[in-house]
Amino acid sequence: MANIVLAALSTGIEGGFSVIYDIPQDLWDSVSQIFDVNNVNKLLKQISNDEDASVHNMSAVEAKAAAVPKGENGVGGTSAADFRTFNVAKELGADVEVTFGGLTWHAVYLSQTGKDGDENRDVILTLWMADSTQLSGETYADGKAFDEKGTSTWNSGFFPNEITSVDYPSAMYGTSYMSAIVLNNGGGYITSQSATELTQAHQIASSVFAKFTMKDFGLTQYLVTPEEVMWQKEGQSILLFGRPSYNCPNENWSNDVPDDGFYTPDFNYVHKSGNDAWKNDYLWLPSLSETGENDNYNGIWETSQNQRKNGTTFSWLRTGYESSASTVYSLTTSNWHLNNVHYTHAVRPALHLNLTEVAKSLKQ
């Protein structure tokens, strides 16, 4: 049985789709370090809604990924809202789930690398990890393992600082414990509310996320970091989706984001060293602009309730609060919450799978 799991049509639950579970097979064989061509072809057919799609015929997939809508004035827009291309669930009336690297993921968004007009743009499928309980008992740092709900603190456990004038605000995602340690990306992170230098994290091969973040496992060559994704570089703002508030930090990795729209310029972390470090991460927490919070505001990915839900446990997001350097957003099925970064919530990262490179590898 192929590993792609499709939902039935709408269940009658507003904004939600039911998922028909089977016994999925993994897209990636970690022993041979190759993709399963039958499972990949099934995935391509489902996300393109075209029975002729395959690794030898990517035209339908490429067309879906290139279908960038125009701005309100009829010309190409520049905001993240204008980067919307193909939402898998909305197109099919179904939620597509895959098993990849031993974990279950929602296929949420189809887009391309680079900018409009760039040559050789690759097709990328954004995957968002499903229920965090699948992390139960798995290692994520030296001497630490996930509890039965798959939760962790966003920072290293210290009581956070409300102050933005410090070198590294407590809620800045680029220098967070979550990015460096929990998701096994490595790099610098802060260990106190008044840190003036970063503690360096080393990746560990025993992490449940190692295969997605360490080149030794052969998988990272088929993943794309946010640095190559323009709808994560700039243009993200919760203001674009009808929320009468202020811009939030951590949504964009560009260090050229203007101060306009922020509560104060101090909450625009582009002025801080390390703000954009997460652009090099293979695994990252999604933003509120990407996931949305409910059926009326469902973000760039236009998520369904099924994709947003995580049992009764809040899911961490990377988006910082508009006027507090100690809190970030978390998500339930139909609402957002604000929590201090030393609290414990579910870990559900996302990644970009490079379908162009996957197809090339299977055509050899």
Check pLDDT > 90 for residue 8.
no
- Mean of the per-residue pLDDT values of the chain: 86
Confidence of residue 25 (pLDDT cuts 50, 70, 90): confident
What is the spatial distance between Cα 137 and Cα 144, in angstroms, rounded to a whole number?
A: 9
Q: Give the whole-number percent of the chain exceeding pLDDT 90.
A: 68
| Dihedral sign from CA coordinates of 250, 252, 256, 257 | negative
Q: Is 238 exposed, middle or buried (0-12, 13-18, 19+ CB in 10 A)?
A: buried
What is the spatial distance between Cα 330 and Cα 336, in angstroms, rounded to a whole number?
A: 6
pLDDT at 13: 35
Q: Is 220 exposed, middle or buried (0-12, 13-18, 19+ CB in 10 A)?
A: middle
Residue 70, phi then psi, degrees to nearest 5: -90, 160
Nearest one of 305, 173, 195 to 252, comparing CA atoms: 173
Q: Looking at 21-30, 33-42, 174-183, which range is the least confident one? A: 21-30
Instruction: Please give the angle made by the CA atoms of 73, 293 and 291, to the nearest 5 degrees.
Output: 70
More confident position, 229 or 240: 229
Averaged pLDDT, 311-324: 94
Residue with tokens 């190409």: 76
* Beta-sheet pairing, 34-35 with 28-29: antiparallel
Averaged pLDDT, 200-217: 96
Q: Give the whole-number percent of the chain exceeding pLDDT 70.
A: 86
pLDDT at 31: 85
Q: pLDDT tens digits, residue range 319-328?
A: 999 999 999 9
pLDDT at 89: 57
What is the spatial distance between Cα 114 and Cα 348, in angstroms, rounded to a whole number?
A: 25
Residue with tokens 């030296």: 142
What is the spatial distance between Cα 119 and Cα 301, in angstroms, rounded to a whole number?
A: 25
Q: Looking at 143-147, 252-256, 294-298, which range is the least confident one? A: 294-298
Q: Looking at 23-27, 45-49, 65-69, 77-81, which range is the least confident one? A: 77-81
Whether the CB-CB separation of 173 and 250 falls below 8 Å is answered with yes
Confidence of residue 83 (pLDDT cuts 50, 70, 90): very low
Residue 336, phi then psi, degrees to nearest 5: -110, 160
Total-model pTM: 0.91
From residue 312, give the alpha-carbon distance in Å to each of 1, 71, 226, 331, 347. Answer: 31, 38, 29, 10, 13
Q: pLDDT tens digits, residue range 95-118?
A: 888 999 999 999 999 999 998 778
Check pLDDT > 70 for residue 5.
no
What is the spatial distance between Cα 304 and Cα 295, in angstroms, rounded to a whole number?
A: 7
What is the spatial distance between Cα 114 and Cα 154, in angstroms, rounded to a whole number?
A: 30
Confidence of residue 131 (pLDDT cuts 50, 70, 90): very high
* Beta-sheet pairing, 199-201 with 187-189: antiparallel
More confident position, 30 or 70: 30
What is the spatial distance between Cα 270 and Cα 279, in angstroms, rounded to a whole number?
A: 13
pLDDT at 113: 95
Averaged pLDDT, 222-250: 90
pLDDT at 120: 86
Q: pLDDT tens digits, residue range 192-203?
A: 999 999 999 999
Helix (H, G, I), strand (E, B) or coil at 79: coil
Check pLDDT > 60 for residue 167.
yes
80 Cβ contact list (under 8 Å, min separation 6): 231, 234, 235, 236, 237, 240, 289, 300
pLDDT at 32: 87
